[in-house]
């Protein structure tokens, strides 16, 4: 497979130029960094800065906007941004009370955001970190905080941003973020590896005709490989695993927000069909769905596959997830 972009570094730079020309939301670039701010979320005392590697478009730069992140920073393809770039965004969002950093729980992101947070604290800024850990395939429930973050990033960013829009205090915004993080669980499946931009070669081995349940956004090992199965067989199995995971933490799924996320080259036709199977499962199990989205939100270049994300809602989270927002990545009217 050959991409229309051939060099990863210039691809990322050009994609940022494309995003800055996106007419939906007016973003500003931060210096020469791969970073943007949306300065118009006026009511917030607490600002939300998100980030992670490139290759997951429309995340991460694409989720800055009204009702969503105030700042977003990207690294190179599948690599965390540097502390300098993150720090530049922390400064650029000009928070009155504090900045909450939201990112997926990967060692590179933890290290780089951690250094930036330490630098900011040393300079008298109030900073907290919310490490999204929604991928149930990446570690046992007993090691919840070791799990990696996948498409659940979006619900966590959405809820935390809506909390900031309500003018909540720093402590409360962080609390909402941690709560959404805890109550958001995802599971992915892949049928074909992503292709490296520079070599045009698959980034890992996944034999033709096999699928891997739980494969991560960068090809990380999942829970099991099996022969191909169609969505109507696969989706109920994945939903059983998600529901069981909620039950293990004594978190009944009273109401749910659902996101079906394509990993890059899974068609909209497939995503809609998968969405239908997910809804059928939840209806059968009498779980009311407050919100359901299907599309490409957190991709892995051109990986073929999808993830299902479920947020367990309560009276606090439901209106936060329902509040209007707009961005290249995710919009609610």
Partner 1 sequence: MPVVLFHQTLTRGDEMSINIEQTRSLVARALEDLAAKRDDLNELDRGLGDGDHGTTIARGAKAATDALREANLGSVNEVFTLTGRAMMRSMGGASGVLFGVFFQGAKACAASPVLDTRTLHAFLKSGLEALKQKTKAEPGDKTMLDAVVPAITALEQANQASATLGTALEQTAAAAERGARSTAGLLPRFGRARTLGERAAAVQDPGATSVSVFLRGLADHLPEG
Residue 85 CB contacts under 8 Å (≥ 6 apart), including other chains: 30, 33, 34, 35, 73, 75
Binding mask 242-261 for partner 1 (x = CB under 8 A): --------------------
Q: Is 107 exposed, middle or buried (0-12, 13-18, 19+ CB in 10 A)?
A: exposed
Q: Is 82 in the site for partner 1 (CB under 8 A)?
A: yes
Please report how close the Cβ of residue 169 comes to partner 1 at its closest, in angstroms.
Answer: 31
Q: Is 88 in the site for partner 1 (CB under 8 A)?
A: no
Contact 267, 274 (CB under 8 A): no
Please report how close the Cβ of residue 84 comes to partner 1 at its closest, in angstroms.
Answer: 5
Closest CA to 152 of 188, 107, 190, 184: 184
Applying CB under 8 A, among 16, 30, 79, 282 the residue interacting with partner 1 is: 79
Applying CB under 8 A, among 65, 216, 262, 264 the residue interacting with partner 1 is: 216
Catalytic residue numbers read 56, 218
Q: Is 158 in the site for partner 1 (CB under 8 A)?
A: no
Closest CA to 238 of 295, 187, 183, 272: 187
Minimum CB distance to partner 1 smaller for 40 or for 198: 198
Please report how close the Cβ of residue 47 comes to partner 1 at its closest, in angstroms.
Answer: 22
Rounded alpha-carbon distances, angstroms, from residue 184 to 40, 111, 126, 299: 28, 23, 26, 18
d(CA 312, CA 258): 9
Write out the binding residues for partner 1, residues 162-201 only, by CB under 8 A: 196, 198-199, 201
Q: Is 35 in the site for partner 1 (CB under 8 A)?
A: no
Please report how close the Cβ of residue 185 comes to partner 1 at its closest, in angstroms.
Answer: 18
């Amino acid at each position: 497979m050959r991409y229309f972009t051939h060099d990863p570094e210039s691809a990322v730079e050009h994609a940022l130029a494309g995003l800055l020309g996106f007419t939906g939301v007016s973003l500003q670039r931060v210096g020469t960094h791969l970073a943007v701010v949306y300065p118009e979320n006026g009511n917030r005392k607490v600002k939300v800065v998100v980030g992670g590697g490139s290759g997951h478009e429309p995340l991460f730069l694409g989720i800055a906007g009204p009702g969503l992140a105030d700042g977003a920073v990207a690294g190179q393809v599948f690599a965390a941004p540097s502390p300098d770039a993150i720090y530049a965004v922390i400064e650029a969002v000009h928070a009155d009370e504090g900045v909450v950093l939201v990112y997926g729980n990967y060692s590179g992101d933890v290290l780089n955001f951690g250094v930036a947070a330490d630098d900011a604290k040393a300079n008298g800024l109030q900073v907290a970190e919310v490490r999204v850990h929604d991928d149930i395939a990446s570690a046992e429930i007993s090691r919840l905080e070791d799990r990696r973050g996948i498409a659940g990033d979006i619900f966590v960013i959405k809820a935390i941003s809506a909390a900031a829009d309500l003018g909540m205090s720093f402590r409360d915004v962080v609390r909402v973020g941690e709560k959404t993080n805890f109550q958001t669980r995802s599971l992915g499946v892949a049928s074909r590896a992503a292709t490296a931009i520079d070599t045009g070669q698959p980034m890992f081995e996944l034999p033709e005709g096999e699928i891997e349940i739980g494969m991560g956004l960068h090809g990380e090992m999942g829970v099991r490989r099996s022969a191909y199965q169609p969505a109507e067989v696969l989706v109920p199995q994945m939903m059983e695993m998600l529901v069981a995971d909620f039950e293990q933490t004594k978190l009944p799924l009273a109401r749910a927000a659902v996101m079906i996320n394509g990993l890059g080259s899974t068609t909209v036709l497939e995503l809609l069909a998968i969405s239908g199977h997910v809804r059928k499962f939840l209806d059968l199990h009498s779980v009311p769905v407050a919100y359901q989205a299907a599309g490409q939100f957190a991709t892995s270049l051109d990986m073929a596959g999808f993830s299902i994300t479920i947020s367990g809602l309560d009276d606090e989270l439901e209106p936060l997830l329902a509040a209007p927002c707009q961005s290249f990545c995710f919009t609610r009217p």
